[in-house]
Amino acid sequence: MRYNKLTDLTGKPIVENITDAIYGSRKTICVITRRYLQSEWCSREIQMASFRLFDEQKDVLILLFLEEIPAHQLSPYYRMRKLVKKRTYLSWPQAGHHTGLFWQNVGRALETGDAPTETADLLTGPAGC
């Protein structure tokens, strides 16, 4: 068996591993940074997680932004931009000194079928698109 960029060490295609991991998980957390957006594999991860979200119509995707990202940088990622416009998301930069509340909201998003509530607007909110 030969190892290459498109397979893991067991010879399984990486895209298949990504798909299996996303569909085999209760929820997927995408930690979004500028570098994440530049990665081909991360782009495939967010696409697959979005497909599952739209396919199952359940809240299975949590978007966690570690830095402020302008809307024009999200535009190539149309599905993610659309998600951010429609849904509440968690933003580390907006958390400021309220990091305890931020992590509480992450925990709540993982426990329930619902996204974090709009009442935590120090930490979350629609993208400024």
**What 8-state DSSP symbol labels residue 115?**
P
Which residue in 58, 109, 65, 98 sits closest to 121, CA to CA? 98
| H or E stretch covering 31 | strand 28-32
Tens digits of pLDDT across the chain (129 residues): 343 455 555 677 888 888 999 999 999 888 989 888 888 888 888 888 888 888 888 888 888 899 988 877 776 666 666 766 666 678 888 888 888 888 888 888 888 654 444 433 334 444 333
Phi, psi of 61, rounded to the nearest 5 degrees: -125, 130
Rounded-to-10 torsion of CA 33, 53, 23, 63? 20
What are the residue ranges spanned by the domains of the chain? 14-111
Output the DSSP codes for 90-114. Answer: EEHHHHTT-HHHHHHHHHHHHHSSS
Quick check: pTM over 0.85?
no
CATH code linked to domain 14-111: 3.40.50.10140
pLDDT for 119 equals: 36
pLDDT for 22 equals: 92
Phi, psi of 58, rounded to the nearest 5 degrees: -125, 155
User: What is the Cα–Cα distance from 96 to 35, expressed in whole angstroms?
Assistant: 22
Work out the number of other CB atoms within 10 angstroms of the CB of residue 128: 9
